[in-house]
């Protein structure tokens, strides 16, 4: 898509993008918020990187947006921590006049870029792992649980994989989802497991694998309380 075409596309879809970022953040975002800028950059990036093999465009764009918004949230958290608790405070002294503020922001920005690169590498690696099961990372947007009860049920199913004896080896060795054993352990319906099978497989592989960045998205699955 040419630059001018992309600008027109972004302008025509501003309201849709605003609704999408509000749905992802679960907050009332306005065009004056940092999240709005991140959302526009996400959709612009999605336009540049999209191809039909990645599924429906807005599903792909929502994954890109989720990643960028998560990075923004982490960056804001780091900055808030750095501002509220300076290292000197632990020595009982706080320097009110920081001479290297600009340098600090450059370091923070570099750290944010490292997070972006790291998460991108994790997505590429896990997509290769998912391909064995017939789907890609970008398919998850269409099969992820939306309601609280469904999310709770999916979390229960995933935790069943890590109860002794663990089912992760069965999944990885056979390449098939052990629905019968999960039902036996949890009492969940086969209908729920079948509908969200890809999401459940992805969750187990990410939690069991070396994907620290992506694991942040599945933290709610670890305990009943969090779910």
- The percent of residues above 70 in pLDDT, for the chain, comes to 79
- The yes-or-no verdict on residue 222 having pLDDT over 80 is no
Residue whose token pair is 């947006």: 65
51-68 tens-digit pLDDT? 777 678 888 888 889 888
Q: Where in the chain is CATH 1.10.1740?
A: 3-88
**Mean pLDDT of all residues belonging to the chain:** 78
What's the pLDDT score for residue 78? 65
HEC per residue, the chain: CCHHHHHHHHHHCHHHHHHHHHHHHCCCCCCCCHHHHHHHHHHHHHHHHCCHHHCCHHHHHHHHHHHHHHHHHHHHHHHHHHHHCCHHHHHCCCCCCCCCHHHHHHHHHHHHHHHHHHHHHHHHHHHHHHHCCCCCHHHHHHHCCCCHHHHHHHHHHHHHHCCCCCCHHHHHHHCCCCHHHHHHHHCCCHHHHHHCHHHHHHHHHHHHCCCHHHHHHHHHHCCCCCC
What is the reported pTM?
0.50
Higher per-residue confidence, 153 vs 80? 153
Average pLDDT estimate for 24-33: 87
**Omega within 30 of 0 (cis) for the link into 142:** no
Rounded Cα distance between 93 and 100, Å, is 17
Which of 46, 25, 44, 26 is CA-nearest to residue 35?
25
Lowest mean pLDDT among 86-100, 119-133, 153-167: 86-100
Average pLDDT estimate for 192-196: 93
Which of 114, 131, 138, 116 is CA-nearest to residue 54?
138
Rounded Cα distance between 112 and 78, Å, is 10
Q: Does domain 3-88 have CATH number 1.10.1740?
A: yes
What's the pLDDT score for residue 109? 44
- The yes-or-no verdict on residue 39 having pLDDT over 50 is yes
77-116 tens-digit pLDDT? 766 544 343 333 333 333 434 444 444 444 344 444 444 5
């Amino acid at each position: 898509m040419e630059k001018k075409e992309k600008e027109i596309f972004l302008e025509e879809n501003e309201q849709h993008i605003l609704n999408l970022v509000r749905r992802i953040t679960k907050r009332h975002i306005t065009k004056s918020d940092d999240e709005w800028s991140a959302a526009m950059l996400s959709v612009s990036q999605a336009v540049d990187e999209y191809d039909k093999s990645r599924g429906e465009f807005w599903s792909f764009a929502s994954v890109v947006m989720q990643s960028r918004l998560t990075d923004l949230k982490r960056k804001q958290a780091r900055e808030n921590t750095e501002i509220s608790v300076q290292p000197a405070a632990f020595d009982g002294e706080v320097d009110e006049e920081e001479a290297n503020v600009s340098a600090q922001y450059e370091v923070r920005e570099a750290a944010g870029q490292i997070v972006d690169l790291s998460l991108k590498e994790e997505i590429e690696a896990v997509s290769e792992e998912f391909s064995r099961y017939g789907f890609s990372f970008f398919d998850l947007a269409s099969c992820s649980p939306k309601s609280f009860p469904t999310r709770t049920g999916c979390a229960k199913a995933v935790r069943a994989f890590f109860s002794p004896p663990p089912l992760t080896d069965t999944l990885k060795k056979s390449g098939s989802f052990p629905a019968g054993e999960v039902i036996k352990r949890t009492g969940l319906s086969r209908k729920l497991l079948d509908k969200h099978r890809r999401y459940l497989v992805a969750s187990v592989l990410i939690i069991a694998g070396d994907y620290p960045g992506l694991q942040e998205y599945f933290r709610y699955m670890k305990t009943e309380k969090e779910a």
